[in-house]
């Protein structure tokens, strides 16, 4: 039986969930692992299903950066808005946190530099499971100065890839979960 590395496991999970190659390059190799915990000790684990109740508040995120002197940006997006079949509002921006020091390696709802406050998952009834994707980026130009980074007021149709290019962000970590409305 072949040995599966964590990179291979992640690659297979991202491909199975159709995150690669559409949202994340198929060649992506993580350099930073993230531990993401929601209420009631609910871990985000490469596509597991979480309840809307457990994801109502921001999670606690811990990561091991390759560069402790660097700064990081976290994004949370939903590429299935309003549904996987009709993704006309996708990707929907749920959260952006910038200027996270690698030395702290922790992000939560009280992290100071929230460019977009946490918007809890709320998939419409009958739209099936939505993928909620955490993207951790290294800020290649270092710490952003006050008001140097702006986003549109609307959270719908957020071009996170363009945002990453404009602000010279390099993807270093990915994780995701699924949630659906059971009404």
Cis previous bond, 82, omega within 30: yes
pLDDT in tens, 61-90: 999 988 899 999 999 999 999 988 888 899
Q: Cα separation of 147 and 128, whole Å?
A: 38
The CATH fold assigned to 6-179 is Phosphatidylethanolamine-binding Protein (3.90.280)
Q: Which of 18-32, 41-55, 141-155 has the lowest mean pLDDT?
A: 141-155
Q: Cα separation of 23 and 40, whole Å?
A: 29
Q: How far is the first Cα of the chain from the last one, in angstroms, to the nearest whole number?
A: 43
Q: What is the pLDDT of residue 87?
A: 85
Asked if 95 and 118 count as a contact pair (C-beta separation under 8 A), the reply is yes
Return the percentage of the chain with pLDDT > 90, whole number: 62
DSSP code at position 178 = E
Q: Cα separation of 176 and 156, whole Å?
A: 19
Which helix (H) or strand (E) covers residue 8, if one does? helix 6-16
Q: Cα separation of 151 and 113, whole Å?
A: 13
Domain boundaries along the sequence of the chain:
6-179
**Mean per-residue pLDDT over the chain, rounded:** 89
Six-digit token pair at 142? 């270092």
* Residues forming a β-bridge with 34: 63
Scanning the structure block, which residue is given the tokens 């929230």?
A: 114
pTM of structure? 0.93
pLDDT in tens, 141-176: 988 887 778 888 899 999 999 999 999 999 999 999
């Amino acid at each position: 039986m072949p040995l599966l590395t964590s990179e291979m496991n992640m690659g297979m999970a991202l491909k199975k969930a159709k995150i690669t190659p559409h949202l994340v390059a198929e060649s992506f190799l993580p350099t930073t692992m993230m531990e993401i915990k929601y209420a009631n000790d609910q871990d985000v684990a490469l596509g597991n299903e979480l309840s809307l109740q457990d994801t109502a508040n921001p999670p606690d995120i811990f990561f091991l950066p390759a560069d402790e002197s660097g700064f990081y940006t976290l994004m949370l997006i939903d590429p299935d808005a309003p549904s996987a079949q009709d993704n006309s509002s996708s990707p929907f921006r749920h959260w952006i946190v910038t200027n996270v020091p690698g030395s702290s390696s922790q992000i939560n709802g009280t992290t100071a530099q929230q460019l977009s406050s946490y918007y809890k998952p709320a998939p419409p009834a009958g739209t099936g499971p939505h993928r909620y994707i955490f993207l951790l980026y290294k800020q290649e130009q270092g710490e952003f100065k006050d008001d140097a980074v702006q986003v549109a007021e609307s959270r719908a149709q957020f071009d996170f890839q363009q945002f990453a290019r404009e602000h010279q962000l390099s993807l270093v970590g990915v994780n995701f979960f699924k949630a659906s409305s059971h009404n």
